[in-house]
A and B are shown apart, each in its own frame.
Chain A
Amino acid sequence: MSTLAVARLEWRRLLVRPLAWVLAALTLAWLGWNFTVLLGSFLAGQIQRAALPDGPGFTDLVAVPLLGQLAQLAFLVVPLLTMSAIAGERRSGTLPLLFAAGVPASRIVLGKYLALLGWLLLWLVLTLAMPLTLAHATDLDGGKLAAAALGLALMLAALAALGLACSGFASHPAIAAAAALILGLALWSVNLGAQMAGIDGGAINWLAMSTHVQPLLRGLVSSADLLWFALLIGLSLALATRHLSTERERG
């Protein structure tokens, strides 16, 4: 009950702040433009692809690349969206009001996370709506698109949890946003440096988010990848909860 009350409060705050609307409008306009460009290229290359028996279709050339662009935008959008969730409350002095309402730290974190996740999933659904509008006229591969959408949803959920944890630790929303951006990018590409140094595979590859998102974008769903996301989300939320509990103890 208190989780839902916190979620509703956070959702309401998201909806009335211009930042969420501006981010949604700008990114959806950008994605809409890119969808048009991708669709144009797809239509232009239709004759050449007709000669290939198992050539790439609408899903591979339009829908999944569009989701790939959403993934790139997410590295910037998610930190901007999550930065104020806890750090903003701390700064405006409203965090103690939540403590004093008898809401445990875990429910404060979970409530805020659910609200942020709701916004991000809505963003994903609106992006998905673009290729889905052409589903009746194209050979849309439903399974592959569902796997890619799941990958994106998990990536957004993981970045939101990471952003919320940064917001939980930071004293200022801008610091939270910068930390979430850097950590998100580092987590995505942690294996690239190792690969350039000639080290490939093993633990460093497992650590990288790209290792777990890319198979999903190709339509491959594996429980090991799902587990990686669950671990990252769980760890981030647990860290945020622990820090908030300590803050309540220490004042």
Chain B
Amino acid sequence: MTTIIPADPPPVLQLDRVTRRRAGRTAVRELSLSLARGQVLGLLGVNGAGKSTTLSMIAGALRPDSGAIKLNGEDFLERPELARTAIGWLPERAPLWPELNVVEHLDAHARLRGMRGAARHAARSAIIERLELQPLARRLAGVLSQGQRQRLGLACALVHRPALLVLDEPANALDPVQVAALRSLIREQAAAGTAVILSTHVLSEVTAVCDRVAILHEGALQHEGTVEAGDHAALERRFFEIAMNPRPAQAA
């Protein structure tokens, strides 16, 4: 009698030697990363390190010049439509349609992600309740405060229950109470099996919610490792070492 041992599921996200040039310079250089179900990866780096470009490529808004991106083992560059159901993305500064209200935003995102009828209504109501957006439901996005915009952007990224959540500086403009709520939401998503990748400048953000950390400098991966509870000082030391004395990157 033979025993069939189930194969390990592929990582939710796998980047293999991804390179991207932008504005005449190499924004991301030969970046390789992987992220399993339920993991939270923090992407750290100084301004211009390549974090947003990396996240835009992972989200499917930008194509790499070379390298491969796999989503659940499937070639994402060959099949960009995988982004539709698998990825939720909150870009930096949460771009919104100013003339649409909160409910219309969530409806539009759910429709774009292929949700229909009752499922769309249920998902919309659930995310409105979870992010406490009820008082803002009929308010136009154009009149929301920056923190409210950020919460709506997050709701749009989550409405279709993606397997991979991509957050670009999600705590921007949030007050301390909202930051605490965001951290709790990220942990809740991870516990439910969602893989989360978030970029931030705030080191305490990483130690509070991330399982792993990757530090980028001038587009190259300089450090990758696990985050242990309470090792904020060690992470800070490592971050500043890299920011001040990065390993030389290969010329693009």
Q: Is A139 an interface residue (CB 8 A)?
A: no
Residues of B within 8 A of A8 (CB): 108, 111
The answer to whether A2 and B84 have CB atoms under 8 Å apart is yes
The closest CB in chain B to the CB of A92 belongs to B95
Residues of A within 8 A of B87 (CB): 100
Rounded to whole Å, the gap between the CB of B94 and the closest CB of chain A is: 9
Of B56, B112, B113, the residue contacting A9 (CB under 8 A) is: B112
Residues of A within 8 A of B11 (CB): none
Residues of A within 8 A of B156 (CB): 97
> Given A17-B99, A92-B97, A102-B82, A251 and B108 touching (CB < 8 A)?
no
CA distance A101 to B115 in the complex (A): 12
The answer to whether B111 and A102 have CB atoms under 8 Å apart is no
The answer to whether B95 and A102 have CB atoms under 8 Å apart is no
Q: Is B232 an interface residue (CB 8 A)?
A: no
Which of B56, B91, B99 is most buried by chain A, counting CB atoms within 10 A of its CB? B99
Residues of A within 8 A of B97 (CB): 9, 13, 92, 94
Q: CB-CB contacts of B37-60 with A at 8 A, as 1s and 0s?
A: 000000000000000010010011
The closest CB in chain A to the CB of B58 belongs to A100
Q: Is A98 an interface residue (CB 8 A)?
A: yes
Of B63, B83, B98, the residue contacting A101 (CB under 8 A) is: B83
Q: Is B202 an interface residue (CB 8 A)?
A: no
Q: Is B81 an interface residue (CB 8 A)?
A: yes
Interface residues on B, range: 20 to 34
Rounded to whole Å, the gap between the CB of B250 and the closest CB of chain A is: 22
Residues of B within 8 A of A13 (CB): 97, 99-100
Q: Is B96 an interface residue (CB 8 A)?
A: yes
The answer to whether B111 and A99 have CB atoms under 8 Å apart is no
Residues of A within 8 A of B96 (CB): 92, 94
Q: CB-CB contacts of A1-38 with B at 8 A, as 1s and 0s?
A: 11011101100110011000000000000000000000
The answer to whether A100 and B61 have CB atoms under 8 Å apart is yes
Rounded to whole Å, the gap between the CB of A7 and the closest CB of chain B is: 10
Residues of A within 8 A of B95 (CB): 92-94, 96-97
The answer to whether B111 and A100 have CB atoms under 8 Å apart is no
Which residues between 184 and 226 of chain A lie within 8 Å of chain B, taking CB atoms? Answer: none
Q: Is B93 an interface residue (CB 8 A)?
A: yes
Q: Is A103 an interface residue (CB 8 A)?
A: yes
The answer to whether A96 and B56 have CB atoms under 8 Å apart is yes
The answer to whether B112 and A5 have CB atoms under 8 Å apart is yes
The answer to whether A2 and B108 have CB atoms under 8 Å apart is no
Q: Is B239 an interface residue (CB 8 A)?
A: no
CA distance A234 to B220 in the complex (A): 43
The answer to whether A251 and B114 have CB atoms under 8 Å apart is no
Of B62, B89, B91, B100, the residue contacting A251 (CB under 8 A) is: B62
Number of interface residues of A (CB under 8 A): 26
The answer to whether A102 and B99 have CB atoms under 8 Å apart is no
Q: Is A54 an interface residue (CB 8 A)?
A: no
Which residues between 19 and 40 of chain B lie within 8 Å of chain A, taking CB atoms? Answer: 20, 22
Q: CB-CB contacts of A85-96 with B at 8 A, as 1s and 0s?
A: 000000011101
> Given A1-B114, A8-B111, A102 and B84 touching (CB < 8 A)?
yes
The closest CB in chain B to the CB of A89 belongs to B97
The answer to whether B93 and A93 have CB atoms under 8 Å apart is yes
Rounded to whole Å, the gap between the CB of B96 and the closest CB of chain A is: 7
Rounded to whole Å, the gap between the CB of A129 and the closest CB of chain B is: 28
Q: Is B104 an interface residue (CB 8 A)?
A: yes
Q: Is A49 an interface residue (CB 8 A)?
A: no
Q: CB-CB contacts of B113-149 with A at 8 A, as 1s and 0s?
A: 1100000000000000000000000000000000000
CA distance A4 to B81 in the complex (A): 16
CA distance A248 to B61 in the complex (A): 7
Of A16, A96, A97, the residue contacting B99 (CB under 8 A) is: A16
Residues of A within 8 A of B63 (CB): 248-249, 251
Rounded to whole Å, the gap between the CB of A115 and the closest CB of chain B is: 12
What 7 new A-B contacts, CB under 8 Å, besides A97-B95, A101-B112? Answer: A5-B114, A94-B97, A99-B61, A101-B113, A104-B81, A251-B20, A251-B61
Interface residues of B (CB under 8 A from A): 20, 22, 53, 56, 59-63, 80-84, 87, 89, 91, 93, 95-100, 104, 108-109, 111-114, 156
When A and B form their complex, which 3 residue pairs have the shortest distance between CB atoms, in order from nearest? A102-B84, A93-B95, A96-B61
Q: List 10 A-B contacts (CB under 8 A).
A: A2-B84, A5-B108, A93-B95, A100-B60, A100-B89, A101-B83, A101-B112, A249-B63, A251-B22, A251-B63
